[in-house]
Amino acid sequence: MTATPPWPTVLFDLDGTLADTIPLIVASYQHAFRSVLGEEVEETRARAWIGRPLLEALLEESPEHGHALDATYREWNLANTGRLIRRYEGVPELLEALHAAGVTTAVVTSKRQETARLALEGVGIDHLVEVVAGLEDTDRHKPAPDPLLRGATVLGVDPARCVYVGDATVDVQAAQAAGMDAVAVTWGAGDRAALAAQGPTALVDEVSDLQALLLGRAAS
């Protein structure tokens, strides 16, 4: 008997979910703070900002120097994306399997559209998934539901029939606020216990388990 995918539309976060940009992001934060403020940033501190809009997080940390930090971060991040970005094993196959099963897939991210597309190209999956909502597409951002609802609107689908897959607590919160199911993955920036505490629909540790879940099959 053929399994039926439980969600006809799967929206994905990008950083730490489809592409391993975590080392790149952490290093970009560290370079920006070192260059602008002469301050060292521990990895755990930098990882806590992932999933939020960049400028928002930086202005919260340093209202006076947030814009300078943002410009320095973006310049270094762009220059080093090709060197530091990594592919998560199994993600291309996951997207191909979902496409073959008739599931619509798309990306909703806190990155700008152009930067998100560069990241997708960097890990070779840009032909498998499109960006339907980026930083510039909504005024409010995760954990607000606006980016996810924007993605559903672009695709012309009912949010209640979507699932959002992400690696941060704000991803789960945004999905719940949007009336979508939420799947949290543990291979990105988020802490497993913190993710579980948000009450996602499912919590998965491996790409293969995520594929089984999204295709409606039992995990191997």
Structure tokens at 32: 């920006």
Same domain, yes or no: 15 and 42? no
Number of domains in the chain: 2
DSSP state for residue 88 in the 8-state scheme = P
**Residues linked to residue 133 through DSSP beta bridges, in sequence order:** 108
Q: Which of these, 65, 36, 32, lies nearest to 46 by C-alpha position?
A: 32
pLDDT digits (tens, 9 = 90+) for 193-205: 999 999 999 999 9
Phi, psi of 74 (to 5 degrees): -60, -40
| Residues marked as catalytic | 13
Same domain, yes or no: 119 and 49? no
Amino acid at 32: A
Identify which has the larger pLDDT, 2 or 185. 185
In a domain, 67, yes or no: yes
Same domain, yes or no: 152 and 208? yes
CB count within 10 Å of CB 51 equals 29
In a domain, 104, yes or no: yes
pLDDT digits (tens, 9 = 90+) for 28-44: 999 999 999 999 999 99
In a domain, 118, yes or no: yes
**Residues linked to residue 20 through DSSP beta bridges, in sequence order:** 86
Instruction: List b or e across 16-36, with b for residues whose CB sees 16 or more CB atoms inside 10 angstroms.
Output: bbbbbbbebbbbbbbbbbeeb
Q: Is the confidence at residue 220, as pLDDT, over 70?
A: no
Q: Is the confidence at residue 22, as pLDDT, over 60?
A: yes
Same domain, yes or no: 91 and 197? yes
This prediction's pTM: 0.92
- Domain hosting 109: range is 9-20+86-215
* CATH number of the domain where residue 15 is located: 3.40.50.1000
Q: Is the confidence at residue 1, as pLDDT, over 80?
A: no
Structure tokens at 36: 């602008």
In a domain, 3, yes or no: no
Counting every residue written for the chain, the total comes to 220
Same domain, yes or no: 107 and 155? yes
* H-run or E-run covering 76: helix 66-84
